[in-house]
């Protein structure tokens, strides 16, 4: 109980309405931040306008956070346990054919081998289905074994010219895995062409 500020401990003031010692009654009572008049505590924010662009005020804790609900996210969904916007929390948050990796909160094509077509395995580090390999010899034409994935998997072979791809062509630096249609003279540079006769 208090009747005046002198009745309170250092750093507290007397609320004339409740006759209790509180941290603040107005913003001017706070050295930093603003006064949350619901709790009479100094906080980072008391309303959304106290936060930076793209943040909202968690009035319960007086902190600025990325989100309190999915409506606060420009994309994805709100993880209310961390008050951050993430790509997914459940499979229903992902596009058709994708699954939610709840460890990274990202949408992927597979989480286990059973999510892949016959003959393919789940490359967990990439979240995609592919052919696991130990060497380049384990991979099909125009693919090589990439050791940067876990486990190692077959990926499209890098190229500079069409003649580096077997029965295919070079596009955006990689051999296209679909064969060139019969009679297609596709080329990107003169080096891709041969002189007849």
Mean pLDDT of 66-82: 96
User: Per-residue DSSP letters for the chain?
Assistant: --SSGGGSPTT-EE-TTT--EES-SSGGG-SSSEEETTTTEEES-SSGGGSPTT-EEETTTTEEES-SSGGG-SSSEEETTTTEEES-SSGGGSPTT-EEETTTTEEES-SSGGGS-TT-EEETTTTEEE-B-SSGGGS-TTEEEETTSSS-EEEEPB-SSGGGSSSS-EETTEE-SSPPPTT----SSGGG-----
Could you read off the pLDDT of 28-62 as tens digits, one per residue? Answer: 999 888 988 888 889 898 889 999 999 999 988 88
Task: Tell me what pLDDT residue 153 has.
Answer: 79
For the residues 160-188, what does the mean pLDDT come to? 71
**What pLDDT sits at residue 105?**
96
Dump pLDDT digits (tens) for 103-135.
999 999 999 989 988 878 888 788 888 877 778
Categorize the per-residue pLDDT at 177 as very low, low, confident or very high, splitting at 50, 70 and 90.
Answer: low
How many C-alpha atoms does 116 have within 13 Å on its Cβ side?
Answer: 18
Say whether pLDDT at 154 is over 50: yes
């Amino acid at each position: 109980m208090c009747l005046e500020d002198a009745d309170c401990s250092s750093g507290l003031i007397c609320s004339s309405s409740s006759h209790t010692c509180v941290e603040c009654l107005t913003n001017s009572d706070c050295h930093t931040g603003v006064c949350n008049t619901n709790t009479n505590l100094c906080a980072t924010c008391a309303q959304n306008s106290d936060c930076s662009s793209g943040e909202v005020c968690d009035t319960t804790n007086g902190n600025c956070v990325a989100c309190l609900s999915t409506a606060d996210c420009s994309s994805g969904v709100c993880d209310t346990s961390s008050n951050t916007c993430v790509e997914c929390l459940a499979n229903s948050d992902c596009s058709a054919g994708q699954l939610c990796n709840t460890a990274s909160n990202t949408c992927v094509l597979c989480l286990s081998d059973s999510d892949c077509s016959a003959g393919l395995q789940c490359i967990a580090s990439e979240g995609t289905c592919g052919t696991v390999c130990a060497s380049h010899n384990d991979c099909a034409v125009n693919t090589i074994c990439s050791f940067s994935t876990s486990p190692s998997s077959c990926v499209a072979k890098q190229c500079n010219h069409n003649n580096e791809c077997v029965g295919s062509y070079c596009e955006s630096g990689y051999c296209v895995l679909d064969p060139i249609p019969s009679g297609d003279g596709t080329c990107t540079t003169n080096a891709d062409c041969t002189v007849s006769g």
